[in-house]
Amino acid sequence: MALNIEQGSTSHSAYDLRSHMSDAIETHTLAILVENEPGVLARVIGLFSGRGYNIESLTVAEVDHGGHRSRITIVTSGTPQVIQQIRMQLERMVPVHEVSDLTVEGPFVSRELALIKVVAKGEHRVEALRIAEIFRCNVVDSTLESFVFELTGMPEKIDAFTDLMRPLGDVRLARTGVAAIARGL
Amino acid sequence: MSEQMTGAKMIVEALKEQGVDTVFGYPGGAVLPIYDEIFQQNAIRHILVRHEQGAVHAAEGYARSTGKPGVVLVTSGPGATNAVTGLTDALMDSIPIVCLTGQVPTFMIGSDAFQEADTVGITRPCTKMNWLVKETDALADTIHQAFHIATEGRPGPVLVDIPKDVQFATGQYTTKPKAKVSHYQPKVKGDINVITALVEAMEQAERPVFYTGGGVINSGDKASTLLRELVEATGFPITSTLMGLGSYPASGEKWLGMLGMHGTYEANLAMHGCDLMINIGARFDDRITGRIADFSPKSRKAHVDIDPSSINKVIHADFPIIGDVGHVLEDLLKVWKSRGRKTNSAAVQTWWTQIEAWKAIRCLDYKQDGPTIKPQYALERLEALTKDHKARYITTEVGQHQMWAAQYLGFNEPNRWMTSGGLGTMGYGFPASVGVQVAHPDALVINVAGEASWLMNMQEMGTAVQYRLPVKQFILNNERLGMVRQWQELLHGERYSESWSEALPDFVKLAEAFGAKGILCSDPKDLDDAIMEMLNYDGPVIFDCVVEKHENCFPMIPSGKAHNEMLLGEAETQGVIGDAGGVLV
């Protein structure tokens, strides 16, 4: 007895292979307060890789030394259903104290810091410094053939600045990823 | 009690304080100090398994049949990696397990020492929580936390990795009441506004159905009692997942049988056609829902679950209730009674008429004819000859036999049915039966097995014989990987790739080689006598029940199909639709 299911059809499997998530992709910024103990970051990252969620940016640092708390800021993307799952999966983790979806919970401030090294000579070097002033960069290191600029802002601002630098010389970049916090009380 | 002692002694003290009476384990270099302490006391019984995977499954059987956490003790490296399958199984089925692993000394961690493995790294995705304890002073506290986290909220496995120098060193013991209170305190009471809204929906529902799962059993006996009261009082039909069997009795009037891929016709069509689905402690697994887009299209759905991430994960819940099943059912009954115990009884009566028509299909019918034992017949006879036993516990392996056991055996009490649902672990049933028998020495414990699954952990015969555990291994031997063979027949053009069990042992001689009893039965006429011989033997038995080799398990909802696209096998609709054998309904 055979079912005569067409080769390659989705019924030809032990699983339903059709994605039932056709909603639009959204980007959300999550702030996660966790116990500052070994393995917490691995556990959080493991959730994202194990369940196939995206990480666009991630920052982590201790925020309360006495209370042993660290804050992880993750920028992630997915359908609304996936974003809700990410939040709930994070909330059920034992070492996680609090999860805020800043994108949903109201206005928030997000900033990223970048250190941008530009290696250039002559007119290009002058032009790099001029543009850096427009972007209100700090010059944190200088040689006759290079600058290191410090720039803080939204990720888009850093992207715009580096795009302008690339034609001027060799650009090397270190970015921190996004840190974010809700506005107001 | 607040005193100095070695880490190894602390472990035994902490287990005693947690009320542990049994540990399943296997010694090795990195846990020798702990085994030395176990040797010098009598409060905790250690069961020596023959493989660390067996230790975890045995602890799962112990936990599932008692409601208490199961405890495992294994060594570093291979001891820990062998336990991984069991831990993953416990995670998927929400079974509380505390696994203690030895580790190489702290100063050797990271040096690729003998029997070193990154145990917390390897087990992080398959435990609810795990710890590497680097200081003896923190050891007792961590073990108390481990028990708290394993048992509170949605239960699950936890692991404590203990380097050998931490076991040898002396430190301060922390008593259970003084242990750091974890912030992990899941919410057990459901939102009363949503519960009230659900009661309103229940009062109006024309075609309601209860869909219950393992969460009812995990919540404890009280939850099963309340569920029975609610079902009888409302008169609504009830079905259950594989994991939830026994929370409502199979002999109950409102019982529709199991639902899902191999569930009954009436249960699946009731799910498909209902207007109010009340999910209590189940998680809309893909073996239950079939094609998501066509899952119960006309119903409003309530979902009671202690794990918030289960809600809206797969299926949208109109009445999401986060809480413990026992607490939620108590509130639900209270609200329903206070509002006058109303139901739309005329409509529900009509709904029952429809359900009775579906039942009349007799979807589990099969024909026992000819000289070969049908597996369904073997289980029906097993049921008939054991159902009146006052304490019957059934474990299973994974495959066709597991589904037939769920279909043809009736469970009237919770915690009597141990099976690997989420992970589907072949090799689960035998060690689980060992764990159940250790917890209930006088009970009748039967592992319904297939010969292929059973061979995966057959080394546990040594354990069964050593501890005189009279576990009955009821093997439905079709000399095939039956479920694989069934899928190959139905979906892969009858190309039976690697699904034969070649070179099988003589199970009777195998039993005898271990010092147990073996019984071979291949004739339907001999079956009852052979089963009685198995039941009357005081000791472990391997029952080699040679069955029909090409029997398929029906009903069946092929994956990616909806509930109303079920295949029936030998049921009465066969022949009406065609000679293909299985029919699309």
Q: What is the pLDDT of residues B352-363, one digit of tens each?
A: 999 999 999 999
B311: which 2 tokens? 């809600």
Catalytic residue among B13, B52, B60, B551: B52
Q: Is A21 on the interface with B (CB under 8 A)?
A: no
State the nearest Cα–Cα gap between A62 and chain B, in angstroms: 18
Determine whether the interchain pair A94/B149 forms a contact, defined as Cβ–Cβ distance below 8 Å. Answer: yes
Q: How far is CA A119 from CA A28, A141, A142, A163, in A?
A: 35, 12, 10, 14
State the nearest Cα–Cα gap between A171 and chain B, in angstroms: 37
Tell me, what's the pLDDT at A3?
Answer: 60
Residue B547 makes CB contacts below 8 A (sequence gap 6+) with B372, B373, B374, B375, B378, B476, B477, B478
Q: How do strand B583-584 and strand A138-143 relate by DSSP bridges?
A: unpaired
pLDDT band at residue B183 using 50, 70 and 90 as cut-offs: confident
The yes/no answer to whether this complex scores an ipTM above 0.85 is no
Which among A5, A15, A46 has CB closest to B286? A15
Tell me, what's the pLDDT at B573?
Answer: 40
Amino acid making up residue A55: I
Q: How do strand B444-450 and strand B472-477 relate by DSSP bridges?
A: parallel
Q: How far is CA B316 from CA A87, B292, B445, in A?
A: 16, 11, 39
Q: Is A143 on the interface with B (CB under 8 A)?
A: no
Amino acid making up residue A128: A
Residue B392 makes CB contacts below 8 A (sequence gap 6+) with B386, B416, B443, B444, B446
Q: Which residues of A touch B262 (CB under 8 A)?
A: none
pLDDT reading at B218 higher than 50: yes
pLDDT reading at B502 higher than 70: yes
Tell me, what's the pLDDT at A23?
Answer: 73
- B1 catalytic per annotation: no
Residues A131-184 have pLDDT tens digits of 999 999 999 999 999 999 999 999 999 999 999 999 999 999 999 999 999 999
pLDDT reading at B76 higher than 90: yes
Residue B555 makes CB contacts below 8 A (sequence gap 6+) with B262, B263, B264, B265, B268, B363, B364, B566, B567, B568, B569, B571
Contact B53, B80 (CB under 8 A): no
Q: Comparing A76-85, B133-142, B271-280, B296-305, which segment has the lowest mean pLDDT?
A: A76-85
pLDDT reading at A4 higher than 90: no
Which among B490, B559, B582 has CB closest to A16? B559
pLDDT reading at B77 higher than 90: yes
**Predicted TM-score (pTM) of this structure:** 0.92
3-state helix, strand, coil in chain A (%, to 5): 30, 40, 35
Please identify among residues 141-160 of chain B the ones whose CB lies closer than 8 Å to any CB of chain A.
149, 153-154
pLDDT band at residue A1 using 50, 70 and 90 as cut-offs: low
pLDDT band at residue B574 using 50, 70 and 90 as cut-offs: very low
In whole angstroms, what is the distance from residue B372 CA to residue B204 CA? 51
Q: Which long-range contacts (CB under 8 A, 24 or more apart) does B328-331 make?
A: B328/B189, B328/B190, B328/B195, B328/B280, B328/B304, B329/B223, B329/B226, B329/B227, B329/B230, B329/B280, B329/B304, B330/B226, B331/B189, B331/B190, B331/B192, B331/B195
User: What is the dihedral sign for C-alpha B471, B512, B449, B428?
Assistant: positive
More confident residue, B48 or B585: B48
In whole angstroms, what is the distance from residue B568 CA to residue B363 CA? 7
Q: Which residues of A touch B313 (CB under 8 A)?
A: 85, 88
